[in-house]
Amino acid sequence: MRLLIIGRLNGELVTASRIAMSRGAAVTQADGIEQGLNALRAKGADLVMVEVSLSIRTLVTALADERIRTPVVACGTGTDAKAAVAAIQAGAKEYIPLPPDPELIAAVLEAVTADARSFVWRDASMERVVKLAEQVARSDASVLITGESGTGKEVLARYVHTRSNRAQKPFVSVNCAAIPDALLESELFGHEKGAFTGAVARRIGRFEEANGGTLLLDEISEMDVRLQAKLLRALQERVIDRVGGTQPVKVDIRVLATSNRNLAEEARKGTFREDLLYRLNVVNLRLPPLRDRPSDILELAGHFARKYAEANGIAPRPLSAEARRLVAQNPWPGNVRELENTLHRAVLLASGPEIDADAIRSPEGEALASGSPAARAVQAAEAVTRSFVGRSLADVERDLILDTLDHCLGNRTHAAKILGISIRTLRNKLNEYTGAGIPVAEPGHTRGLAAYG
């Protein structure tokens, strides 16, 4: 945990920094906003505490412009409520009154590092993934973490870092999909002052920021092929070139990468370098979708119910039996993220002594049973797949044709188009069915064959 303190406040911030250090934080100090920004550009930090009388807006705006995502917390002498409000409006995440309360400082530090600790699993399929993660955590091997969106790839990456020999060093994450191609190179490798318009000062890149620790290249499949070549060199030779720089810089990092696309497939298509894939994919941790880890669903639901009760100052409540049934049966196409958001809402919506099924709702307030369109599609697809097994091809074909006709309200032209067959073939099939004496009012069909004749 790297803490940057900007300002002095008659020594009050020195006390705060002592408290933080006693909790294991590495503290740097800067006198003003400009020095603070330079320290962030030069070394990075996990949290900034800034004296409230300094221009927090200037700081927050500069950080946003330069895409430095370190959270900012304002500090000031306790009684100045106006300054506290102004600080929050300017973009500070929290306001800490001084003189510092050791418990409060500890709580803020903990909130910043909390992500790394809440990694919950129970299902046997996850047990295997976690075991493999623990086995490789202590090596410096690159790890590729794959899985559908929301399955917890970033959570697992942090877990690997905390279990590694680098745990006390920085964990730095770069979202390759969120940063425009033209800027990603300087984000990763840094730049020298004047390297391009807007390069107002030397800034170190994420590789240097992560030095000694772990670098997570999130959504690496989105990286431009040209930059992939530079990344490969950095990984092979353990040196980087800042944009506009003349001297290569040595770096000591462990790289983790995530992707929700199949990189082998991307490599075949030529959008991802095969040599880079081999470099990254020394170990592949594959996170199963949440629907394939049934024992995790209720475990995670309970975890999120407790987490959001605590965050909102509400007494924790258990899920009712009906709510548990609903949650356990839902297909969760958005995986853990969707489950988390749903439980967050449920904690806020529930009114009784338990979290009831009624509180388990979509973001639009619909009951979960009817679900999101995506959830319904997955449910329908699963129902269809289940109903196929054990039936003959001819049988399934007939049902598909009749269902499609049904869907098209008997319009043969439209149905044939959807089915990808000619109208003549469709007509022949229908004749076959009536000729075979199939009852005109099939169960499940609202209009019988007669209506289509």
Ligand X SMILES: Nc1ncnc2c1ncn2[C@@H]1O[C@H](COP(=O)(O)OP(=O)(O)OP(=O)(O)O)[C@@H](O)[C@H]1O
Q: Which residues make up the interface to ligand X (CB under 6 A)?
A: 118-121, 147, 149-155, 258, 260, 300, 336-337, 340
Instruction: Kindly provide the residue ranges of all beta strands, DSSP E only, lying in 52-113, ordered along the sequence.
Output: 72-77, 94-98
From the list Mg ion, ligand X, none, pick the one residue 151 interacts with, judged by a Cβ distance below 5 to 8 Å according to partner type. Answer: ligand X
- Smallest distance, ligand X to C-beta of residue 286, A: 12
Stretch that binds Mg ion, among 31-39, 72-80, 154-162, 284-292 (CB under 5 A): 154-162
CA distance 27 to 29: 7
* Pick from 199, 195, 115, 126: nearest CA to 161: 115
Q: Does 299 bind Mg ion (CB under 5 A)?
A: no
Query: Interface mask (CB under 5 A) for Mg ion, residues 224-263, using x and -?
Result: ----------------------------------------
From the list ligand X, Mg ion, none, pick the one residue 119 interacts with, judged by a Cβ distance below 5 to 8 Å according to partner type. Answer: ligand X
From the list ligand X, Mg ion, none, pick the one residue 48 interacts with, judged by a Cβ distance below 5 to 8 Å according to partner type. Answer: none
Indicate left, alpha or beta for 335 from its phi (over 0: left) and psi (-120 to 50: alpha): left
- Smallest distance, ligand X to C-beta of residue 194, A: 35
- Smallest distance, ligand X to C-beta of residue 33, A: 31
- Smallest distance, Mg ion to C-beta of residue 156, A: 10
- Smallest distance, Mg ion to C-beta of residue 218, A: 5
Q: Which is nearer to ligand X, 66 or 340 (CB)?
A: 340
- Smallest distance, ligand X to C-beta of residue 311, A: 13
Q: Which value, in Å, is the radius of gyration of the alpha carbons in the chain?
A: 28
Nearby residues of 3 by Cβ (< 8 Å), 6 or more positions away: 17, 20, 25, 26, 27, 28, 45, 46, 47, 48, 49, 109
- Smallest distance, ligand X to C-beta of residue 121, A: 5
Q: Does 442 bind Mg ion (CB under 5 A)?
A: no
Q: Which is nearer to Mg ion, 153 or 166 (CB)?
A: 153
Residue nearest to ligand X (CB): 152
* Pick from 332, 288, 291: nearest CA to 146: 288
Q: Which two tokens stand for residue 144?
A: 């590729």
Q: Which is nearer to ligand X, 120 or 419 (CB)?
A: 120
Q: Which is nearer to ligand X, 150 or 205 (CB)?
A: 150
Residue nearest to Mg ion (CB): 154
Phi, psi of 296, rounded to the nearest 5 degrees: -75, -25
- Helix residue ranges per DSSP H, 217-331: 225-237, 263-269, 274-280, 294-311, 321-329
Q: Which residue has 């749903």 as its token pair?
A: 342
With CB under 5 A as the rule, give the number of residues binding Mg ion.
Answer: 2
From the list ligand X, Mg ion, none, pick the one residue 290 interacts with, judged by a Cβ distance below 5 to 8 Å according to partner type. Answer: none
Q: Does 154 bind Mg ion (CB under 5 A)?
A: yes
Q: Which is nearer to ligand X, 264 or 321 (CB)?
A: 264
Contact between 285 and 245 (Cβ < 8 Å): no
- Smallest distance, ligand X to C-beta of residue 173, A: 10
Contact between 376 and 362 (Cβ < 8 Å): no
Q: Which is nearer to ligand X, 1 or 300 (CB)?
A: 300
The residues that bridge with 74 in the sheet, in sequence order, are: 50, 95
- Cα–Cα distance list, 439 to 181, 395, 445, 453 (Å): 61, 14, 11, 13
Q: At what angle do helices 393-407 and 412-419 cross, to 10 degrees?
A: 130
The residues that bridge with 72 in the sheet, in sequence order, are: 48
CA distance 379 to 392: 23
Q: Which is nearer to Mg ion, 187 or 356 (CB)?
A: 187
Position 361, amino acid: R
Q: Which two tokens stand for residue 366?
A: 């619909």
Stretch that binds Mg ion, among 151-159, 390-398, 408-416, 444-452 (CB under 5 A): 151-159
CB atoms within 10 A of CB 370: 11
Instruction: Calculate the CA 446 to chain-centre distance.
Output: 44
- Smallest distance, Mg ion to C-beta of residue 278, A: 23
Q: Which is nearer to Mg ion, 337 or 344 (CB)?
A: 337
* Pick from 288, 348, 360: nearest CA to 312: 348
Binding residues vs Mg ion (CB under 5 A): 153-154
